[in-house]
Chain A
Amino acid sequence: MINNSLIQLKPNEKAIIGEIVNCGSARKRLYELGLNKGAKVTMVKNDIGPVILNLYGHKLALGRGLASKIIVG
């Protein structure tokens, strides 16, 4: 398991997006949504169900499986 992925962030924690690994065509979709390398995000909700991120002041919900494949720095 990747131990510095989005899924480890606590609510209100900020992070910078790094690599996105092993998720096929979803990677490109994430890039297009602004989750490219270097993007700044804030975790909004991370308990059950998809995580909710704040990206440029907008909310983005990502499935937990996917969130665990996004490495943050």
Chain B
Amino acid sequence: MNTIALVGNPNSGKTTLFNALTGSNQHVGNWPGVTVEKKEGKVTHNDTEFNIVDLPGTYSLGAYSEDEVVARDFILKDNPDVVINVVDATNLERGMYLTTQLLEMGTKIILVLNMMDEAKAKNIEIDIKKLSKNLGVPVVATVASKRKGLDMLLEESISYINKEANQRSIKSYGDYMDKEILHIENILEGSNFDYPKKWLAIKLLEGDMDVLNYIEKNVQKDNFERIKNITGKSQDFELEIVDKRYEFVGEIISSSVVKPEVEKVTLTDKVDKIITNKFLGLPIFAIIMFFIFQITFVIGSDLLGGYVATAIEMFGEFVLNLLEGLNAPELLTSFLVEGIIGGVGAVFEFIPLIVVLYFFLGILEDTGYMARAAYIMDGIMRALGLHGKTFISMIVGFGCNVPGVMAARTLENKKDRMIAILINPFMSCGARLPIYLVFIAAFFPDNGGVVLFTLYVLGIITALILGKIFSKTLFKGESSYFIMELPPYRLPSFRVVIRDMWDKVWDFIHRAGTIIFVVISLLWVLSILPLGVEPYSQESILGRIGTFLAPIFVPAGFGTWQATVSLFAGIAAKEAVVAILGMVYAGVSEGSQLTLALQSVFTPLTAISFMVMTLFYTPCAAVLATVKSETGSSKWAIFIALYPFVLGWIASVIIYQVGTLLGF
């Protein structure tokens, strides 16, 4: 099968195109660095099947950060049959710098001019035929977000794959450079490489470390020394090569693209004046976040949450009556009604909330505000020894910490990246939301939005303070420079927002049906054994395990076996906390009303202490596994399993003890 890779600058619309072509549902957002790993999909057009690979955005083939390494390695090592080079049509000057590098390498490319709608709006005229002729490559105009130009692109791909390529590239890098290139090529003569020799020579002169390492492994020592003598002669080789590339781009563009002399003041300019204003930026950011939580709470919980809860309760009663009518064994009834409906069902009650929260976070991502948030926060972040871009990975963590940890790939420097990974779990993810909500419903029903906002802010502040501590102790050294594009604001596409939201909600439902289901089933068995004991009682195996561990949490005010078991089960997946509480308390009070049960065993103070514990303590197994794979070491996974637990314990003990002293 033919493999096509999508390559281009960050935020040029690769993933939008990928989704449109393959019918996939990969994450799209209006900020650079959304995609950090490669994704594959298939499409069939006129009986030809393609394997399409979406890659992280990159500005060049000289990798700088981890996500770019993914893109670069794929292009260099996996030899796609054709590369679709996606370029933002409003920014050919920069986008085609990468194109030039692909041409240098001799990669077979199709140039896609995406965002043609925006180019048109900016009165940029592009003569596609001429551009294609100048470059010797097929050029296709698309509007990926409106699915325009896709058929044309697929047709070009089919015909180009079987055609002999006759692509143009830079002929001369100047007399002096040409001589050095030739010189290195001669030294490389006689050995076999996976890449064209001229390209290797250019990369060596450019000072590309990866190519240098590759050459060291593949040539004799004296030849390697000779090469290093040449490349070491001047610092300016790199500059010369860059200049030549831009010259090439300029030459190609000048005869095929007409841009208006005077640029219009855009809406983006006007909005940015306010959003990034030195006095208004931070307050606006805080207000936006506050409203998101407030609205989430009002719509998700008060307006819709009740219906779902009632529906689940009615369903529970229905099943109960049905089973009793059928004279079903008592154990089966207990498993289904208390374990599954009481436990897993407790998780389902929060779907409306998750829907609303993700809807708003999605809008935040698609408008282009994310990049501004990073910009606004850079000052504070820098003062703490962190990189402004860390903030993006933090906001992504609000959805789920797994992509949050992975988003740290876009941070170039190891120090910044490690800190971003280690503090991400303090960003309260969607799976922890249900925990807060049951406690809010039980104890703070009138101030839900405020409590929720406070918890999230507490998470952010803790993450920042820890970041500061880590940058002073574990990872010393300078942060890398802040360099970030601020994309134009875009009207969020309803389809994209809904699709991204649905993806996350589906994931939530899926987890409830799989991991939560399994955890609950296992613990249910433990809670009725040994046979003959009162189910869900302290005498059950589960009760005894919980009772054994509960003293740990006595100083924090929630040293019951039920709370203890739920916390430990939450390490498998955070939704399990509510599910377990729902199951073990399902029999306590009338119906499956978890809130009533909680009111009888918690107080407002212990509720706060418990919520803070769940905000801080050990991240779930999926996050631990991601930390392990992203840092390449179990050491950090163990570290991140332990220190948040200790921190959460200390915080909840302080809350409970101080609160008790103050008479709460």
In the assembled complex, how far is the CB of residue B62 from the closest CB belonging to chain A, in whole angstroms?
7
**A66–B480 CA distance with the chains assembled, in angstroms:** 10
**Would A66 and B483 count as touching, CB distance under 8 A?**
yes
For the residues of A in contact with B, the DSSP-based class is mixed
In the assembled complex, how far is the CB of residue A11 from the closest CB belonging to chain B, in whole angstroms?
10
Count contacts on A: residues with CB < 8 A to the other chain: 31
**Would A28 and B375 count as touching, CB distance under 8 A?**
no
Partner of B481, one of A38, A48, A60, A62: A62
Partner of A45, one of B276, B371, B483: B276
Interface string of B48-66 (1 = CB under 8 A from A): 0000000000011010100
**Would B375 and A49 count as touching, CB distance under 8 A?**
yes
- The residues of B that contact A57 with a CB separation of less than 8 Å are 90-91, 122, 259, 263
Partner of A48, one of B93, B278, B482: B278
**Would A26 and B480 count as touching, CB distance under 8 A?**
yes
Partner of A49, one of B122, B263, B376, B486: B376
**Would B379 and A48 count as touching, CB distance under 8 A?**
yes
- The residues of B that contact A55 with a CB separation of less than 8 Å are 94
**A61–B281 CA distance with the chains assembled, in angstroms:** 15
In the assembled complex, how far is the CB of residue B39 from the closest CB belonging to chain A, in whole angstroms?
24
Partner of B278, one of A37, A47, A56, A59: A47
Instruction: Indicate whether A2 reaches chain B with its CB closer than 8 angstroms.
Output: no
Q: Given that A45-B276, A59-B272 are contacting pairs, would A34 and B93 also be in contact in the complex, using a CB cutoff of 8 Å?
A: yes
Q: Given that A37-B239, A63-B378 are contacting pairs, would A50 and B91 also be in contact in the complex, using a CB cutoff of 8 Å?
A: no
From 86 to 110 in chain B, residues with beta carbon under 8 angstroms from any chain A beta carbon are: 90-91, 93-94, 97
From 401 to 427 in chain B, residues with beta carbon under 8 angstroms from any chain A beta carbon are: 412
From 489 to 532 in chain B, residues with beta carbon under 8 angstroms from any chain A beta carbon are: none
- The residues of A that contact B371 with a CB separation of less than 8 Å are 61
**Would A50 and B378 count as touching, CB distance under 8 A?**
yes
Partner of A56, one of B94, B243, B483: B94
- The residues of B that contact A38 with a CB separation of less than 8 Å are 246
Q: Which of under 10, 10 to 19, 20 to 34, or 35 or more describes the interface residues of B? A: 35 or more
- The residues of B that contact A31 with a CB separation of less than 8 Å are 238-239, 242
**Would A50 and B94 count as touching, CB distance under 8 A?**
no
**Would B278 and A61 count as touching, CB distance under 8 A?**
no
- The residues of A that contact B482 with a CB separation of less than 8 Å are 50, 61-63, 66
**A50–B263 CA distance with the chains assembled, in angstroms:** 23
**Would A59 and B378 count as touching, CB distance under 8 A?**
no
From 339 to 392 in chain B, residues with beta carbon under 8 angstroms from any chain A beta carbon are: 371, 375-376, 378-379, 382, 388
- The residues of A that contact B60 with a CB separation of less than 8 Å are 28, 32
Partner of A52, one of B243, B486, B488: B486
Partner of A60, one of B246, B376, B484: B484
From 612 to 644 in chain B, residues with beta carbon under 8 angstroms from any chain A beta carbon are: none
Instruction: Indicate whether B73 reaches chain A with its CB closer than 8 angstroms.
Output: no
Number of A-B contacts (CB under 8 A): 106
**A25–B64 CA distance with the chains assembled, in angstroms:** 8
Residue of A nearest to B238 (CB): A28
**A36–B243 CA distance with the chains assembled, in angstroms:** 7
- The residues of A that contact B412 with a CB separation of less than 8 Å are 25, 29
Partner of A58, one of B90, B97, B272: B90
Residue of A nearest to B90 (CB): A57
- The residues of A that contact B382 with a CB separation of less than 8 Å are 63
Interface string of A11-49 (1 = CB under 8 A from B): 000000000000101101111111011100000110111
Q: Given that A33-B94, A34-B94 are contacting pairs, would A61 and B483 also be in contact in the complex, using a CB cutoff of 8 Å?
A: yes
**Would A23 and B481 count as touching, CB distance under 8 A?**
yes
Q: Given that A56-B91, A60-B486 are contacting pairs, would A26 and B481 also be in contact in the complex, using a CB cutoff of 8 Å?
A: yes
**A35–B239 CA distance with the chains assembled, in angstroms:** 12
- The residues of A that contact B243 with a CB separation of less than 8 Å are 36-37
Instruction: Indicate whether A73 reaches chain B with its CB closer than 8 angstroms.
Output: no
- The residues of B that contact A37 with a CB separation of less than 8 Å are 239, 243
In the assembled complex, how far is the CB of residue A69 from the closest CB belonging to chain B, in whole angstroms?
9
Instruction: Indicate whether B485 reaches chain A with its CB closer than 8 angstroms.
Output: yes
In the assembled complex, how far is the CB of residue A65 from the closest CB belonging to chain B, in whole angstroms?
6
| Residue of A33, A38, A60, A61 most packed against chain B (CB within 10 A) | A61
**Would A60 and B485 count as touching, CB distance under 8 A?**
yes
In the assembled complex, how far is the CB of residue A6 from the closest CB belonging to chain B, in whole angstroms?
13
Q: Given that A33-B94, A36-B243, A49-B379 are contacting pairs, would A61 and B484 also be in contact in the complex, using a CB cutoff of 8 Å?
A: yes
- The residues of B that contact A47 with a CB separation of less than 8 Å are 278
- The residues of A that contact B483 with a CB separation of less than 8 Å are 26, 29-30, 33, 60-63, 66
In the assembled complex, how far is the CB of residue B471 from the closest CB belonging to chain A, in whole angstroms?
16
**Would A32 and B97 count as touching, CB distance under 8 A?**
yes
- The residues of A that contact B259 with a CB separation of less than 8 Å are 57
In the assembled complex, how far is the CB of residue A10 from the closest CB belonging to chain B, in whole angstroms?
15
**Would A36 and B242 count as touching, CB distance under 8 A?**
yes
**A48–B279 CA distance with the chains assembled, in angstroms:** 10
**A60–B9 CA distance with the chains assembled, in angstroms:** 14
Residue of B nearest to A23 (CB): B481
The 5 closest A-B pairs by CB, nearest first: A63-B482, A59-B486, A66-B481, A32-B59, A34-B94
8 A-B pairs with C-beta separation under 8 A = A28-B238, A32-B97, A49-B378, A52-B272, A58-B90, A59-B486, A61-B378, A66-B483
